[in-house]
Amino acid sequence: MSDACVLCGHGEARWELTGRDRLYHTTARAFDVVACGGCGLLRLSPRPLEAELPQYYPQQYWFSGDRSLAGRLEESFRRLLIRDHARFVQRAYRNAGATGPMLDAGCGGGLLAGVLRARGVPAMGLDSSADAVKLAWHRHRVPALQGDLRQAPFAPRSLALLSMFHVVEHLLDPVGYLRAAHALLRDNGRLVVQAPNADCLQFRVLRARWSGIDIPRHVQNFRRADLQRLLSSAGFEITRTKHFSWRDNPAGLATSLWPSLEPVARRVRQLDRGGASRLFKDAAYLALVLASVPFTVLEAALGRGSTVMVEARKIA
């Protein structure tokens, strides 16, 4: 595949920064992030090959559903924080007519889809990871499939709503992916997308240390305007935008400041020495997350929040 911009096709780019996998340490390699000379979209350079991507996703990426005290506390906390997302999706589902199936593409361990089902939204899950979809079914009773949206076994125009939380920035071909979403949605169907916002104040200050850039897993890093162009090129019109989420914004800043304290990173890198150490680090991480709230609320209020969540309507 050529190294041209996925949004405007421009081949030239300027260097922005160089960084490494600060979170999971899957590789010691340094990667460049460049800005498209045509539209400014940030992308990893050179563009990784499809076959190269899996090695950057650690095996223990998914919450294993362990029943230890720390495991149960972490899950309760995540359940509390996901309510923001659930409410946003629920409202989009009402806007889509409140009937028919919805699919959470990139469902991970199925927490969100499970919470939505408990609220009466008939959510299903799809994920590229077999471990993730197993967990979604066994832990949260979410009907979930392993696969790619572009080959998903659903009839065209059969879905009322599709959600994608932290998916588009990981894709080599986000436009093709969103066109597949467009084909699966019925008329007036809704798409909910959330991604880190490369226009945020954190990125200006922290650059390669901003956790939202997540080198090398983020192939593209969208600003709010880039996301808007991406959606309109695939046949969607944004109807609602939100810049703050309790799950992502404060935790994102905490992870930027101290990546080795982040719970998944600790599990992946095996940094905890027993249950007490894990509980202590969980408490320290929680304190850092809470300390991050004022700044992240402020940047979101200025329209420069570190994530952007949108509801988009399918247009012809």
CB of 117 to Zn ion, least distance (A): 39
H helix or E strand, kind and range, residue 242: strand 236-242
Candidates 256, 261, 308, 267; CA nearest to 285 is: 261
Q: Judged by CB under 5 A, does residue 38 bind Zn ion?
A: yes
Q: Please give the angle made by the CA atoms of 257, 59 and 72, to the nearest 5 degrees.
A: 70
Candidates 33-41, 92-100, 108-116, 275-283; binding stretch for Zn ion (CB under 5 A) = 33-41
Q: Judged by CB under 5 A, does residue 100 bind Zn ion?
A: no
Q: Judged by CB under 5 A, does residue 20 bind Zn ion?
A: no
Q: Judged by CB under 5 A, does residue 48 bind Zn ion?
A: no
Residue type, 28: A
C-alpha to C-alpha distance for 165 and 145, rounded to whole angstroms: 17
Q: What are phi and psi of 165, to 5 degrees?
A: -100, 120
For Zn ion, the closer of residues 35 and 268 by Cβ is 35
CB of 47 to Zn ion, least distance (A): 13
Strand pairing partners for 220?
Answer: 43
C-alpha to C-alpha distance for 119 and 130, rounded to whole angstroms: 26
**Which residues between 262 and 281 bind Zn ion (CB under 5 A)?**
none
Interface pick for Zn ion out of 5, 227, 254, 310 (rule CB under 5 A): 5
C-alpha distances out from residue 239 to 157, 209, 309, 314, Å: 20, 32, 11, 10
Q: Judged by CB under 5 A, does residue 8 bind Zn ion?
A: yes
Candidates 6-14, 126-134, 135-143, 291-299; binding stretch for Zn ion (CB under 5 A) = 6-14
Interface pick for Zn ion out of 23, 33, 34, 36 (rule CB under 5 A): 36
* Interface residue list for Zn ion (CB under 5 A): 5, 7-8, 10, 36, 38-39, 41
